[in-house]
Chains A and B, each alone.
Chain A
Amino acid sequence: MSASEKIRVAVLGCGQIADAHLSQIQRIKSAEVVAVCDTHLDLAWQAAKRFQIPRFETSFARMIEETRPDVVHLTTPAQTHASLAVELLQAGCHVFVEKPFTLDAQAAREVLSVAVANRKLVCVGHDQLYDPAWLTCKKWVQRGLIGEVQHIESILGYPIDGKFGAQVAGNPAHWVRKLPGGLFQNTISHPLYRITDFMSDVQPEIMGGWRTRPGMNFPTEMSISLQGRNQSGSLTFSTFLPPQRLTRVYGTQGTIDIDFDAQTLRLKSLTKLPGAFAKLEAPWQHVRNSLWNLGNNLWRFSKSDIHYFAGMKHLFQAFYDSIQHGTSPPILPDEIERVTYLMDRIFVHCREQEPRTYRMEETKLLQIPAPENEVSACL
């Protein structure tokens, strides 16, 4: 297609994440949403009404036939991703798949091979790789500000009584509960790809496991360590933490902290001053970081550049550009397969560890009575 034509986009699946897709696509001048589709008529209707989309459908085959979109965004439950992606690719559409890409690596490979066979592009919603804070972090790493990356720590706080968590927890029939990796399959790709983006080891060794918090009947907490030959990573998913998306990148010369929610970065270099002077240099670095973040966020606010789903917009734009210019998609097929396979291995590992991990309510301290002679000694 020519670069001057607008990309015609359709969205398949009108649940919560579709709102984010629609609002970000509408910020892209080179794209227009031509239709939305959902098996529930009312869901498709509300999306069309709110985002002023000319057409809503309950049959995706009819939508494709009648609107001929260039790209379809797949925002349906993950169980349907592989089969729908294959059908859409065969119908001649490029496909953007919301994370998780597929239920397992085998299905991911099938989708990717169908894309090659049909000469269409596929991308996955690893949008935080295009978040402005992450892009700045990568720039700093490339400039050598923290030396060689050695370790990446990634945290996702996901309160179980939050907007989406409560729906999953309160409804045993929720589609997320039926995923092979349960709640984690729908959530950990974000903290995981923030690790793999810096990790040269394609498939590191996995340690750790998942646990179930009291009152729940499915695993809710995860702590995983990834050990490669040269680098390591740690992933923490906790429903006890307030919502937060944090990553710390450790290098040989310093660290960078990225807070995606606050849109702040903190660069900490190894102190150069000797002895007690170093204790003054470290707080001075904090002051410099704070001033830089305040200035940066004020500047971005004035340009109206602070958006929760900013990474999504930039990723969509990059994907559409790759379609228009016939270049590689922004998230490469190898990376999609790598993350999906790593998730498969994490879930297999956690299941294998399960008999050895305690449910959290069983970990309370045992009440051991004091030996009789000690009691009488006290008396």
Chain B
Amino acid sequence: MSVIAFVTGGTGFLGRRLLRTLLARNVHVRCLVRSQSGIDVALKELSPEQQQRLQFVRGDLADPDALESHLQGVDVVYHLAAALNGSCSTMFLNTVVPSRGLMQAAAKAEVGRFVQVSSLGVYGTASLRRWGTLDETTPIDPQSEHRDPYTFSKVRQEAIAWELREQLGLPLVVVRPGVIYGPGRSLLTSRVGLSLGPLLIRMGGGQLLPYTYVENCAEAICLAGLTPGIEGEIINVVDDDLPTGRRILRTLRKNGKTVHSLWVPRPAISPLSALYAWYSRWSEGQLPPVLSWHKSEAMWKPLRYSNRKAKHSLNWRPAISTEEGLNRTIAGLPGNFAS
């Protein structure tokens, strides 16, 4: 009998690839959407036969009654929907609050698996030495309220998932992808540096970036829902042969792209961040508290990132190499840009 999957965030950057991956494995997919936007793009990428196995259901994550009916007969829930920007309270309202409702509804509907797509950003790095290895045993950041709103909301969302696993027996698997890139997304994320108008402030350049190509990531998430016997597991998803900021800039320039940047050497990043944080506090927020020692260590500390567990537990291999992923992404970029 065919598996029925329920997907949230299925019309987004990662979600569309997950739909394709699931449908390629003959899964029947029920995808929750709020409006028409994105449906046409998602459908265009599918064959007529795949479209028949895909059902879009209109609804709101904040509506528990609707969720209950949508989750009837579902084997696996893939929860991808999340606010990517906005203020902290907006992120909580749009990500954390509805996630709690969805998880409660999923537990009540007795789904076979609940895959929570979290983020590699939730880890704290204080316990790791420079060039230490970050893996699933690394503790969560205990001061996540001092990080960016996205990371803070993801830490809370995960905490709720684990709490409901304890209380309601939610059959939880947590996937923590690194930075997801691919055509349509910039390679110059905040892991490489910060945008200041037309200028990129490059933070170091030699540290490895925990990147994962969008299709590789979709494959791992798909497997996290279908692989038996991994309830209660956490799985990090990053590719092999991780790039550095320097390599990304070199590749961009080799492909004729112009990036105007200012380099901050790695040893100067944390002291400068601490100085900025002091000024932000002293001026009572005249400059927003976007940088601190804690944040800069979490973002730019040189580390190694392990994907051993994903390979072992899910039998996953990143099908697209980093070189190929970078080239595919760059092929869709405009000429001159800083971010």
- Residue ranges of A at the interface with B (Cβ–Cβ < 8 Å): 14-16, 18-19, 23, 27, 40, 42-43, 45-47, 49-50, 163, 167, 170-171, 173, 301, 304-307
Contact = CB atoms under 8 A, between A and B. Distances in A.
Contacts of A307: 284-286
B233 interface: no
Interface of B: 34-35, 60, 86-90, 92-94, 96-97, 100, 145, 152-153, 156, 160, 282-286
A173 B86 CA distance: 19
A18 B89 contact: yes
Contacts of A43: 89, 92-93, 97
Contact of B282 (A45, A173, A304): A304
B286 A49 contact: no
A280 B159 CA distance: 67
A304 B283 contact: yes
30 contacts: A14-B89, A16-B87, A18-B89, A19-B87, A19-B89, A23-B285, A40-B93, A42-B96, A42-B97, A42-B100, A42-B160, A43-B92, A43-B93, A45-B156, A46-B88, A46-B92, A46-B96, A46-B145, A47-B89, A163-B90, A167-B86, A167-B94, A170-B35, A171-B34, A171-B60, A173-B60, A301-B286, A304-B286, A305-B286, A306-B286
Contacts of B160: 42
> What is the predominant secondary structure among interface residues of chain A facing chain B?
helix
Nearest to A163: B86
A119 to B, nearest CB: 33
B146 to A, nearest CB: 8
Nearest to B156: A42
B288 to A, nearest CB: 10
Given A170-B34, A170-B35, A173-B60, A46 B283 contact: no
Contacts, number: 62
Contacts of B96: 42, 46
Given A15-B89, A16-B87, A170-B34, A49 B145 contact: yes
A15 B94 CA distance: 11
A302 to B, nearest CB: 10
Contacts of A163: 86-87, 90
Contact of B93 (A15, A49, A301): A15
A167 B89 contact: no
A324 B180 CA distance: 54
A376 to B, nearest CB: 46
A15 B86 CA distance: 12
A372 to B, nearest CB: 43
A333 to B, nearest CB: 30
Given A40-B97, A170-B34, A46 B89 contact: yes
Contacts of B285: 23, 27, 307
A163 B85 CA distance: 9
A363 B94 CA distance: 37
A164 to B, nearest CB: 8
A16 B89 contact: yes
Nearest to A167: B90
A97 B320 CA distance: 55
Contacts of B152: 46, 50
A45 B97 CA distance: 11
B160 to A, nearest CB: 7
A163 B285 CA distance: 20
A19 B156 contact: no
A269 to B, nearest CB: 32
A18 B89 CA distance: 9
A17 B86 CA distance: 12
Nearest to A48: B145
B25 to A, nearest CB: 32
Contacts of B156: 42, 45-46
A15 to B, nearest CB: 5
10 A-B pairs with the lowest CB-CB distances in the bound complex, closest first: A304-B283, A49-B145, A304-B286, A42-B96, A46-B92, A27-B284, A50-B145, A40-B97, A16-B87, A16-B89
A171 B283 CA distance: 37
Contacts of A173: 60
Contacts of A45: 156
Nearest to A15: B89
B35 A50 contact: no
A49 to B, nearest CB: 4
A301 B282 CA distance: 12
Contacts of A171: 34, 60
Nearest to B94: A167
B92 A42 contact: yes
Nearest to A313: B284
Contacts of A306: 286
A271 B153 CA distance: 57
Contacts of A47: 89
B77 to A, nearest CB: 20
A40 B145 CA distance: 18
A373 B232 CA distance: 82
A19 B90 CA distance: 10
A323 to B, nearest CB: 22
Contacts of A16: 87, 89-90
B93 to A, nearest CB: 6
Nearest to A50: B145
Nearest to B100: A42
Contacts of B88: 19, 46, 50
Most chain-A CB neighbours within 10 Å: which of B34, B93, B153, B282? B93
A201 B90 CA distance: 40
Most chain-B CB neighbours within 10 Å: which of A18, A27, A43, A301? A43
Nearest to B60: A173
A104 B319 CA distance: 61
Nearest to B153: A46
B27 to A, nearest CB: 29
B148 to A, nearest CB: 12
A172 to B, nearest CB: 9
A42 B97 CA distance: 7
Contacts of B283: 304
Contacts of B286: 301, 304-307
A216 B152 CA distance: 33
A252 B153 CA distance: 54
Contacts of A170: 34-35
A167 B89 CA distance: 13
Contacts of B86: 163, 167
Contacts of B153: 46
A263 B156 CA distance: 37
Contacts of A18: 89
